[in-house]
Structure formats: structure tokens, C-alpha cells
Structure 1
Amino acid sequence: MSHLPQDLHDVFPDDEALLRRLKAQDQHFRNLADRYATLDQEISQIGLALAPASDERTEDLKKQRLLVLDEIAAVVQAARRAA
């Protein structure tokens, strides 16, 4: 099982400037982005067999990452509409 880390700029390639602005100006978004990066890094470490984890733990982390990504997507979409 391998996992290639995905930066938010990979997930939202057309919103690079918006992501930078949100990270600079919105503490809630910055917290979400940091949480996403932490979860993605942990999943990547498990996928590369650098960190041990059960299948259950891995699936839990993936679910958490998806929930955070959904929240990030909602913030990005709202910021697009407001722009």
C-alpha cells in the first residue's frame, strides 16, 4: 500500500492564489490546512511502511482526512463566491 502525499495545491490546482490568501488571512482555514497536512503525512508514513498502524487505524485516519478536506472545500467554495 502506498500513498503519495497531496498538498492542498494539488487538490485545488486552480485556486493557488486563493489558498495562499486564505492561509494568510483566515485562522480557521489555516488550522484546517495544518490538520489536513498532518493527517496526510501520517497516512503517507503508514503507506511507506515507516509508521506501523492497523488497517482500522489507517481507515480512521483516511476518514478524518476526508472530513477535513470536505470542510476545506466548503471554505474554498465560499471564498470563490465572495470574490
Structure 2
Amino acid sequence: MSHTPHELAEEFPAEVEKMHKLKLENAHFAKLFDEYHEVNRAVHRAEVSVEPTDDAHEGELRKQRARLKDEIWALISAA
């Protein structure tokens, strides 16, 4: 298990400018972006035991983060 935050700027470093533009111009993208960061922070807090949770809940958070990341990538790719 990695305890490294999965920030979108680190996940897609070549797309930082495009993400910034999409956040300003696309309300759906902005919502997904914010939701991703909320879920990502929850996963990270669980990983480092700041907010301990059971394995099943942490697994669900990870799946949610992956789904959001996939949807975000689809929007980035289409832009």
C-alpha cells in the first residue's frame, strides 16, 4: 500500500494546464475534480491512520477514486 497522495497534477503532469482550463470552462469537470480530491484526501487519511477505517470502506473509497480518475481522464482526452 502506498501512502503517497494521488494528486491529479502528479497523475497527469502533462495535462495541468488543460485541467485548469477545464475547471474554469466545464462545470461537470470542476465537480468531478473537486469530488476526486475529497475522496483522495479520505483515502490518504485512512492510509496514514489519521482517520482509521475498515478495509472494506477504504477499498470502496479507492474504487470511487479510480472511477473518478477514469472519468476525469476521459474528459481531458476529449478536450
Shorter-chain TM-score: which interval? Answer: over 0.9
Note the aligned Cα RMSD (angstroms): 1.0
Once the two structures are superposed, the pairs formed by residues 2-81 of structure 1 within 5 Å of their partners are 2-79=2-79
Question: 2 CA distance for matches of 1:2 and 1:76?
Answer: 25
Q: Is the 8 A contact 1:5 1:40 kept in 2?
A: yes
Deviation at 1:3, TM superposition (A): 2.0
Q: CA deviation at 1:52?
A: 1.6
User: What are the superposed Cα offsets for residues 51-77 of structure 1, whole Å, 9 maximum, x if unpaired?
Assistant: 021000000000000001110010000
Point out where structure 2 has 5 or more consecutive residues left out of the alignment: none
Give the C-alpha shift of residue 2 in structure 1.
4.8
Identity, % of aligned positions: 33
The gaps in structure 1 that reach 5 residues or longer are none
Say how many residue pairs are matched.
Answer: 79
1:6 CA displacement:
2.0
Structure whose CA Rg is larger: 1
User: TM-score scaled by structure 2?
Assistant: 0.94
Amino acid in the other structure paired with 2:50: L
**Cα deviations across residues 20-77 of structure 1 (Å, max 9, x unaligned)?**
1001111100000001100110000011111021000000000000001110010000
- Which 4+ runs in 1 deviate beyond 3 A? none
CA distance in 2, matches of 1:4, 1:57: 19
